[in-house]
């Protein structure tokens, strides 16, 4: 026999042994032998294409492809205030090949909806927080309110009160307004719309006084001079050039006020820890890249990453504090 034969024969014997174990014991060892990832990864965006969440997913996806050497497929599943897309994740295999980009809605839906098709505390495992974005208190370019202080005085003294628009009940713009009412002692009247577009149209036209709008929705309108920005809702000032000179609501007299939009990734519960750690490392690298930061700068997004545990604690804190606001204001999106 040739030396090659003596080298190959043990490999053939081992292959036969593996096949025998698999055949007679019903053991599928392929997942054990395969290195993650060995096929495309799907990232669910629970919104229509073109918004801030879609931008985050597609930009991060470019680096994921480079690092993981597998295609990353972005699947838009809008509807139900992100419930449809989130439920699709909950029903996916816990193998790291299906993820979701979650937002503020993920933390508030359990308090807004009578019944969810998934268990919030049991069906998901956190991967990473990507970043936090302020909402921006805006008024029409023709509004008499030139500063936050002028707006606050009118909100407290004007007969009949002021009105504020939102893109729908239970959205970040709505809850930011309700938090403001509770902390400032005002009685702003909520005017919900079916989307940010028509809401902002009426703010620009003066039919509604103000809006606590997402930075991504109002950036270009502020630049064009169609809206006037008075303050940001985050606890610290925005570093985005367009918003950098705006005060925070907290520093302008409503001490402790903080409301923000955010983006983060979840996987189905049961996804192996080593896979979660791999995804955390790759997404963190993508979020901290200059390419990502330059793409999301106009969205007002401040990159803020960490461990899966950090993200889990962050979301739980968000759930608790917004539950109180929702309960006190008797808000429901059902």
Q: Alpha-carbon distance 203 to 228, whole Å?
A: 10
Contacts of 48 (CB under 8 A, 6+ apart): 54, 76, 78
Report which of residues 62 and 20 the model is more confident about: 62
Q: Please classify residue 291 by burial: count the beta carbons closer than 10 Å to its beta carbon, then call 0-12 exposed, 13-18 middle and 19+ buried.
A: exposed
CATH code that applies to domain 33-133+261-329? 3.40.190.150
Contact call for residues 218 and 229 (beta carbons, < 8 A): yes
* Residue 330: per-residue pLDDT: 86
Tell me how many degrees the CA angle 29-32-35 measures, rounded to the nearest 5.
135
Instruction: Tell me the DSSP string of 166-230.
Output: ESSTTSHHHHHHHHHHHHHT--PEEEE-SSHHHHHHHHHHTSS-EEEEEHHHHHHHHHTTSEEEE
Judge if 33-133+261-329 and 134-232 fold alike in CATH terms: yes
Domain limits, the chain: 3-32, 33-133+261-329, 134-232
Q: Alpha-carbon distance 244 to 298, whole Å?
A: 12
- Residue 285's CB: how many other CB atoms inside 10 A? 16
Q: Which CATH superfamily is domain 134-232 in?
A: Periplasmic binding protein-like II (3.40.190.10)
Contacts of 16 (CB under 8 A, 6+ apart): none
pLDDT digits 0-9 by tens, 283-331 = 999 999 999 988 887 778 889 999 999 999 999 999 999 999 999 888 8
Contact call for residues 288 and 73 (beta carbons, < 8 A): no
- pTM for the model: 0.83
Q: Alpha-carbon distance 260 to 223, whole Å?
A: 21
The yes-or-no verdict on residue 3 having pLDDT over 60 is no
Task: Give the residue from 314, 315, 333 showing the smallest Cα distance to 109.
Answer: 333
Q: Alpha-carbon distance 305 to 130, whole Å?
A: 5
Contacts of 85 (CB under 8 A, 6+ apart): 44, 45, 46, 47, 76, 77, 78, 79, 100
Tell me how many degrees the CA angle 223-143-165 measures, rounded to the nearest 5.
80
Contact call for residues 47 and 79 (beta carbons, < 8 A): no
Cβ-count burial 101-122 (b if 16+ within 10 Å, e if not): bbbbbbbbbbbbbeebebebee
pLDDT digits 0-9 by tens, 24-53 = 444 444 444 468 999 999 999 998 888 889
Which residue matches tokens 């050497």? 69
Report the chain's mean pLDDT, rounded to a whole number.
Answer: 88
The yes-or-no verdict on residue 8 having pLDDT over 50 is no
Report which of residues 328 and 266 the model is more confident about: 266
The secondary element (H helix, E strand) that includes residue 41 is: strand 41-45
Contacts of 101 (CB under 8 A, 6+ apart): 43, 44, 45, 46, 53, 56, 57, 130, 263, 264, 265
SS3 letters across 104-141: HHHHHHHHHCCCCCCCCCCCEEEEEEEEEEEEEEEEEC
* Residue 7: per-residue pLDDT: 34
* Residue 156: per-residue pLDDT: 94
Query: Which phi and psi (to 5°) does residue 142 adopt?
Result: -100, 5
Structural tokens at position 183: 């902390």
Kindly state the average pLDDT of the residues 42-69: 93
Least confidently predicted of 13-27, 192-206, 259-273: 13-27
pLDDT more than 90, % of the chain:
72
Quickly state the pLDDT bin for 209 (edges 50, 70, 90): very high
């Amino acid at each position: 026999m040739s030396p090659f034969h003596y080298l190959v024969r043990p490999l053939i014997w081992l292959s036969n042994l593996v096949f025998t174990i698999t055949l007679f014991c019903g053991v599928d060892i392929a997942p054990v032998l395969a290195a993650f990832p060995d096929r495309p990864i799907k990232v669910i965006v629970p919104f229509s294409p073109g918004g801030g969440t879609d931008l985050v997913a597609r930009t991060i996806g470019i680096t994921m492809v480079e690092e993981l050497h597998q295609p990353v497929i972005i699947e838009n599943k809008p509807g139900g205030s992100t419930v449809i897309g989130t439920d699709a994740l909950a029903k996916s295999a816990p193998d790291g090949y299906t993820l979701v980009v979650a937002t503020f809605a993920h933390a508030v839906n359990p308090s807004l909806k009578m019944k969810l098709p998934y268990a919030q505390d049991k069906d998901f495992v956190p991967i990473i927080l990507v970043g936090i974005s302020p909402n921006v208190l805006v008024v029409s370019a023709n509004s008499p309110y030139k500063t936050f202080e002028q707006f606050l005085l009118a909100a407290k003294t004007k007969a009949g009160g002021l009105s504020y628009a939102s893109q729908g009940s239970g959205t970040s713009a709505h809850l930011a307004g309700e938090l403001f009412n509770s902390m400032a002692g005002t009685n702003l009247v909520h005017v919900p719309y079916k989307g940010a577009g028509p809401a902002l149209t009426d703010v620009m036209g003066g039919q509604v006084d103000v809006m606590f709008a997402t930075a991504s929705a109002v950036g270009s309108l502020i630049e064009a001079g169609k809206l006037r920005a008075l303050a940001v809702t985050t606890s610290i000032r925005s570093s985005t050039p367009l918003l950098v000179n705006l005060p925070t609501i907290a520093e302008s007299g409503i001490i402790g006020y903080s409301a923000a939009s955010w983006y983060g990734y979840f996987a189905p519960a049961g996804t192996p820890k080593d896979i979660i750690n791999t995804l955390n490392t790759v997404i963190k690298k993508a979020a901290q890249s200059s390419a990502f930061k330059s793409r999301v700068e106009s969205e007002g997004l401040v990159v803020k990453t960490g461990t899966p545990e950090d993200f889990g604690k962050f979301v739980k804190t968000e759930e608790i504090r917004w539950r109180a606001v929702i309960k006190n204001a008797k808000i429901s999106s059902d």
